[in-house]
Amino acid sequence: MAVKFLFATVFVSFVAPAVSTFLASNPESKLASEKGQGKLGVGSIMTNLANFGSQGMSDDELDNMETAVESLVTGGDDAATKIAVKQLQMFITNTLIPNRKRSQQADQKVLDAQFQRLRNCHIDQQIKRDAVASQKVAIAEDHKDDYADSMAGYGGCLEGLDTKALLRDAYCHAVDDVAKACHCETKMVERFGERNVDCSKVPQVSASNEKCCNAHFEYEKHGADCSELRMEASYAKKQHKIIMSPLCNQYEACYDKQLELYQNTLHVVKEGEKHRSWATIQRMQCLFEKFKKGKVAQPDNKSCKDQVHVVEHISYPTIPEKEVCQTRVTP
């Protein structure tokens, strides 16, 4: 800050005599009046540059500087004008542009950092940084796979159950109450238990009902296997939701918060970008280059105004859309 202020002070003390000589020899110049048509003269520009170290330069002051530069380079190429132009160019090249570039780079870093915070909200980013989150997601994925496998097995199991039912009906058509007749069949008790019946007091299955009870057992056993698959699928589904719900809630809350912060940062950065006025600075740089050959003619002056100058601007990344975080497994 002290260096910039010192430069501006030296700049004013060095240029003032040259500017005074120029104004004295050009009494009709736009620069001779501090009030003409609301524009600042060179004297006021010098004062603004002296204050640059502590106050910066406003958009209006930069526009006035452009007007002063244009008037200088198109007004003549005497010694006083050359000194004034050279010092203005030095200020713009050595102080104004570097300061604005540093400011732009700082804004880019702030914007990029806030954008990364927004991206880090995603669960994929969470599991890269958090071993616990990674483990939870891995377990949830296992439950998701278990659900898919169990549901696939359940579907196939139901098809087989229909076949078992047809066989049972074929063998048991002459039995009035199949469930009662086969309740205490040995394989039924081994698989399902006595189920509130004292099978020690129930007669053994008769030979005539043996095929019927065997077919009934296969049907009941197959049905139980299907139910177990359905229960396993239901358990896996619930466990997946239990794990993913807090992770999804965390992602959504993080995204909403960081998106708001990013948009606020984006607004500030864009405002700063707009006030850097790179086009104005580039036009003045163009005039300085043309003035090296002498007084700038109006066609050359116009070409600097019309020329499209390529400058490096802030890079604005594409905001990621809020993704649907799945807490439920699809059937």
pLDDT (tens digit, 9 = 90+) per residue, 196-213? 888 888 888 888 889 999
- The model's confidence at residue 136, banded by pLDDT at 50, 70 and 90, is very high
More confident residue, 273 or 7: 273
75 lies in the same domain as 176: no
State whether 111 and 16 are in the same domain: yes
Asked if 304 and 287 count as a contact pair (C-beta separation under 8 A), the reply is yes
pLDDT (0 to 100) of residue 206:
85
**Mean pLDDT value of segment 292-306:** 89
pLDDT reading at 249 higher than 80: yes
Using CA atoms in the order 96, 278, 34, 95, what is the torsion angle rounded to 10 degrees?
A: 10
| Backbone Cα Rg of the chain | 43
- Domain boundary pick from 187, 218, 238: 238
CB 103 within 8 A of CB 272: yes
Q: Which residue has the higher pLDDT, 10 or 185?
A: 185
Interval 40-57: pLDDT, tens? 455 555 555 555 544 467
Is residue 19 domain-resident? yes
Same domain for 81 and 185? no
The HSE-up count of residue 67 (CA atoms within 13 Å, CB side) is 21
Residue 138 lies in a domain: no
Model-wide pTM > 0.85: no
- In the DSSP assignment, the letter for residue 206 is P
- Overall number of domains in the chain: 2
At 221 the pLDDT is: 94
Q: Which of 238, 263, 281 is the last residue of a domain?
A: 238
* In a shared domain, residues 221 and 282: no
Q: Does 193 reside within a domain?
A: yes
Calpha distance 247→243 (Å, rounded) = 7
Q: In the predicted model, what is the mean pLDDT of residues 62-66?
A: 87
Q: Domain for residue 59, yes or no?
A: yes
Per-residue pLDDT of 217-246, as tens digits, reads: 999 999 999 999 999 999 999 999 999 999
Whether pLDDT at 185 is above 50: yes
Please tell me whether residues 112 and 149 are part of one structural domain.
no
Q: Is the pLDDT of residue 27 over 50?
A: no
Return the exposure string of 57-76: e unless at least 16 CB atoms fall within 10 Å of the residue's CB, then b. beeebbebbbbbbbbbbbbb
39 found inside a domain: yes
Write down the pLDDT at residue 212: 92
Q: 111 and 148 in one domain?
A: no
Selected residue with higher pLDDT from 118 and 200? 118
3-state SS string over 152-183?
HHHHHHHHHHHHHHHHHHHHCCCCCCHHHHHC
**Helix, strand and coil percent figures for the chain, each rounded to 5:** 75, 0, 25
Residue 111 amino acid letter: L
**What percent of the chain lies above the pLDDT cut of 70?**
83
**In a domain? residue 331:** no
- Which pLDDT score, from 0 to 100, does residue 237 have? 94
pLDDT beyond 60 at 3: no
Q: For the chain, how many residues are written?
A: 331
Q: Is residue 158 part of a domain?
A: yes
pLDDT of the residue at 309:
76
pLDDT of residue 207: 86
pLDDT at 125 over 70: yes
Which residue range forms the structural domain that includes residue 284? 2-116+273-306
Task: Taking residues 60-84, report their average pLDDT.
Answer: 88
Distance from C-alpha of 213 to C-alpha of 222, rounded to nearest angstrom: 14
What is residue 45's predicted lDDT score, i.e. its pLDDT? Answer: 55
**Does residue 16 surpass a pLDDT of 60?**
no
Question: Is the same domain home to 107 and 151?
Answer: no
Calculate mean pLDDT across residues 245-273: 95
Say yes or no: 277 and 226 in one domain.
Answer: no
Mean pLDDT of 107-135: 92
Residue 193, phi-psi category: left (phi > 0), alpha (psi -120 to 50), beta (remainder): left
Q: Is the pLDDT of residue 4 over 90?
A: no
Boundary of a domain, candidates 221, 238, 255: 238
The verdict on residue 251 lying in a domain is no
| pLDDT of 10 above 80 | no
pLDDT at 258: 96
pLDDT given for residue 46 in this prediction: 54
Q: Indicate the angle between helix axes 59-75 and 278-291, nearest 10 degrees.
A: 20
